[in-house]
């Protein structure tokens, strides 16, 4: 599990060199500032996510609070109903962030979004939160996606 985040860090860096573009997202309650979200590859919205593939997620943000820990919570929202979405590692401190998170620092959160073959082909919204020690959102963003064969 701990190997996954460093591997994706390398893949995301390579993607950035190949012209990755930040995606437009809807903020859903972030306390952090200057948030940039990259999904690799996702050249346009909705992101078309193919079954059986993994997608790199890189979020750059400026902290506005301190926290000893950070925990990612991901949901797929379908017809207004949030469905928990399992990611390889929900500990933000093992995904590019050196904890503790300090106020007025810039961070790069790196993880992956695996799309399992058994997922249905559907359009939905992905909601990705990174929570602090108190369960408050450090960042929260949503993007439309389409899961496809």
Residues for the chain: how many in total? Answer: 149
Q: For residues 20 and 40, is the Cβ–Cβ distance under 8 A?
A: yes
pLDDT of residue 1: 43
pLDDT of residue 46: 96
- Please report the domains of the chain, with CATH numbers, ordered by start residue: 4-148 (2.60.40.770)
Residue 5, number of CB atoms within 10 A of its CB: 20
pLDDT tens, position by position, for the chain (149 residues)?
Answer: 444 444 444 334 434 434 457 899 999 999 998 999 999 999 999 999 999 999 999 999 999 999 999 999 999 999 999 999 989 999 999 999 999 999 999 999 999 999 999 999 999 999 999 999 999 999 999 999 999 99
pLDDT of residue 20: 57
Query: pTM (2 decimals)?
Result: 0.85
pLDDT of residue 12: 40
């Amino acid at each position: 599990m701990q190997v996954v985040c460093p591997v994706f860090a390398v893949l995301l860096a390579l993607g950035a060199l190949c012209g990755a573009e930040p995606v437009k997202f809807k903020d859903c309650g972030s306390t952090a500032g200057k948030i940039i979200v990259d999904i690799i590859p996702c050249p346009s919205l909705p992101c078309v996510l193919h079954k059986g593939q993994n997608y790199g997620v890189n979020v750059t943000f400026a902290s506005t609070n301190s926290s000893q820990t950070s925990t990612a919570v991901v949901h797929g929202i379908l017809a207004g109903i949030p469905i928990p979405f399992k990611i390889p590692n929900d500990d933000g401190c093992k995904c590019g962030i050196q904890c503790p998170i300090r106020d007025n620092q810039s961070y790069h959160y790196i993880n992956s979004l695996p799309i399992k073959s058994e997922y249905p082909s559907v359009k939905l919204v992905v909601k990705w939160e990174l929570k602090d020690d108190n369960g408050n959102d450090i960042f929260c963003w949503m993007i439309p996606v389409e899961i496809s064969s």
